[in-house]
Structure 1
Amino acid sequence: MIRCLVVDDEQHAIDIMKHYIGQTNFLELVSSTTNPVEALQTVITENIDLVFLDIQMPELSGIDFIKAINGKAKVILTTAYSEFAIEGFELEVVDYLLKPVRFPRFLTAVQKAVKLINDKPAVAEPDTSNEADYIFVKTESKGKLLKINLADIEYIEGMKNYVAIFIGGKKTLVYTNLKDLINHLPAKQFIRVHKSFIIPISRITGIEGNMILLKSVTAEILIGENYKADLMEIIKHKMIS
């Protein structure tokens, strides 16, 4: 099965692609979204093979999106504007579908993608044995995206409509919430320990009462009762009694 993602700022365009994918037995729709920033995180965390991508979107254009994913998935562009075709093919997209997209033309593009995905040399396959090592986040500055290396994160704290990601003692405000963010972080590397805190497991240096001690962190990180069992489940496998 070819794992697919649909990205378009118009819901009706998404619905058409979803219908076509549903009619094609070798395609699997993993997700669809009108938010290109969210889509970037999905490509990173969900092992996507093929992206159906609009070009003209707010905050992040399709061309910028292709550059950001850096070959992690094949891309079929979908747009009402033909003038972007040359730039798209320079970025090695599979095909370029002009809206309104017809099903026979959709199938032609998909067949090209299948051949490219299945014929990909083994040396070019991405290493899926390791978790993703970075995420893209939407900061408090309008239209600004920031790449965050997961290994640099000291801890993450919820702050009303934002979360603060602490790196090197400094915080970056990100327009999201802890519930959504934890879903885009590798479960083997990060754990939510409180309604207000997510921490990297590798930085835990100790536990004192209801507080967690983290490497290079002086802030008080509390353990919430609702999260304690999950934390202890991880720790007990390393505990010598």
Structure 2
Amino acid sequence: MLKCFIVDDNPSSIRLLTQYIDQSDGLENAGSSQSGQQALQILQNPASNIDLVFLDIDIADLSGLDILERIGSSHVVILVSGHYLYAQEAFSKGASGYLYKPVQYDRFLAAIEKGKEIAKSRRHTMTNPVHIYVPGNGREVRVRITTSDICYIQSSTNFCTIFLDDSNVFCSLSLKQMCTVLQPPYFVRINRSILVNSNKIIKYDAYDVYLEGNKVIPFGEKYKSDFISSIRTTGLGF
């Protein structure tokens, strides 16, 4: 059973999607919100246990694409929009499906089937793996890295550098790809280009995060509230 949540500031769209959810096998309606900010707070709370999100793009108080960027690695997200021009950007930010308004039931079912497969595969993925294998030098070479040794990961276009306790590893993976494996609350984004191991954080203030080894990294304003929310909702902070 997939718990579904609707984020849309149009009441008629919410009613239609609610009807589709209620008449479809394997789906449970977990509620809705017409506010992007309110929806983000709900979805970032692990206690909500929401699996799948129907997300409108044109929301008055917060863009659906901004919400997608923050929850795409932890939820199956199906974008709902009356515009075709957002589709490519939506999929690049982690959308699992894209429905055009007015939503037809057959297309709704097709998107749900794909969403179920993605949700199933995620359930079989360890939240915080002990080791990961990343591309190394040479054809099909993979290097094992112990995740507890990672201090932080910094991106550079489509590549990243993994900073370990005693060495660095250059990796031909993007930060987005790393985020699909190393997820909150164990690993958290603190700005656009840096993912940190939360176990290496000594303290944080209004501007910076302080890591072991005297490393200080500035917050990105968009990521700061997400970081604090993740820490608080998982019981790791106050």
Long gaps (5+) in structure 1: 135-143, 154-184, 191-199, 201-241
- The answer for the alignment partner of 2:100 in structure 1 is 98
Match of 1:110, SS state, is helix
Q: Could you tell me how far 1:150 is from its partner in structure 2?
A: 5.7
Cα distance change, pair 151–85 in 1 and its aligned pair in 2 (3 A): closer
- CA shift at 1:57, angstroms? 1.1
Q: Distance in 2 between matches of 1:20 and 1:126?
A: 34
Please say if residues 4 and 30 of structure 2, whose CA atoms lie closer than 8 Å, have aligned partners that are also in contact. Answer: yes
CA offsets 1:191-239 (integer angstroms, 9 cap, x no match): xxxxxxxxx5xxxxxxxxxxxxxxxxxxxxxxxxxxxxxxxxxxxxxxx
Change (3 A) 1:89 1:70: closer
What corresponds to 1:89 in structure 2?
91
Distance 1:48 1:19 in 2: 18
Match of 2:56 among 54, 69, 78: 54
- SS of corresponding position for 1:120: helix
Is residue 114 from structure 1 mapped to residue 193 from structure 2 by the alignment?
no
Aligned ranges 1:66-215 → 2 under 5 Å: 66-120=68-122, 122-125=124-127, 147=225, 149=228, 200=238
1-side partners of 2:236 and 2:123: how far apart? 30
Q: Which whole-Å CA distance do the structure 1 matches of 2:230 and 2:90 have between them?
A: 33
Is 2:69–2:94's contact at 8 Å kept on the other side of the alignment? no
For residues 111 and 152 of structure 1, the distance between their equivalents in structure 2, rounded to whole angstroms, comes to: 33
The question of whether the paired residues in 2 share the 8 Å contact of 1:43 and 1:72 is answered with no
User: How far did residue 18 of structure 1 move?
Assistant: 0.5
Matched AA of 1:14: I
Q: Which amino acid aligns with 2:106?
A: P
Matches of 2:231 and 2:93, distance apart in 1: 30
Evaluate the alpha carbon distance shift between residue 123 and residue 151 of structure 1 in structure 2; reply closer, same or farther with a 3 A threshold. Answer: closer
Q: Alignment RMSD, CA only?
A: 2.9
1:40 aligns with 2:40: yes
Show CA shifts across 1:130-177 (max 9, x none): x9799xxxxxxxxx9960626988xxxxxxxxxxxxxxxxxxxxxxxx
Deviations 1:11-51 (A, max 9, x none): 11011110100001201111201011111111122021110
- Judge conservation of contact 1:42–1:48 (CA < 8 Å) in 2: no
Does the Cα contact within 8 Å between 1:44 and 1:132 map onto a contact in 2?
no
State the secondary structure of the residue aligned to 2:73.
coil
Query: Contact 2:44–2:229 (CA<8 Å) still a contact in 1?
Result: no
CA contact (8 A) 2:33 2:39 kept: yes
- In structure 1, what residue type is equivalent to 2:58? Q
Question: Residue type of the partner of 2:9?
Answer: D
3-state SS of paired residue (1:29): strand
Q: Report the CA distance between 1:92 and its aligned residue.
A: 2.6
- Structure 2 distance, partners of 1:112, 1:44, is 23
Normalising by structure 2, we get a TM-score of: 0.54
1:44–1:70 distance in 2 versus 1, CA, 3 Å: same
Distance in 1 (CA, whole Å) between partners of 2:89 and 2:14 is 23
* Aligned partner of residue 82 in structure 1, secondary structure: coil
Structure 1 residues 151 and 100 mapped into 2: Cα distance closer, same or farther (>3 Å)? closer
Counterparts in 2 of 1:76 and 1:124: CA distance versus 1, 3 Å: farther
Aligned-partner residue type, residue 25 of structure 1: D
Verify the 8 A CA contact 2:72 2:95 in the aligned structure 1. no
* Rg (Cα) greater in structure: 1
Q: How does 1:12-51 map to 2 (within 5 A)?
A: 12-45=12-45, 46-51=48-53
Name the CA distance, whole Å, in 1 between partners of 2:30 and 2:100. 23
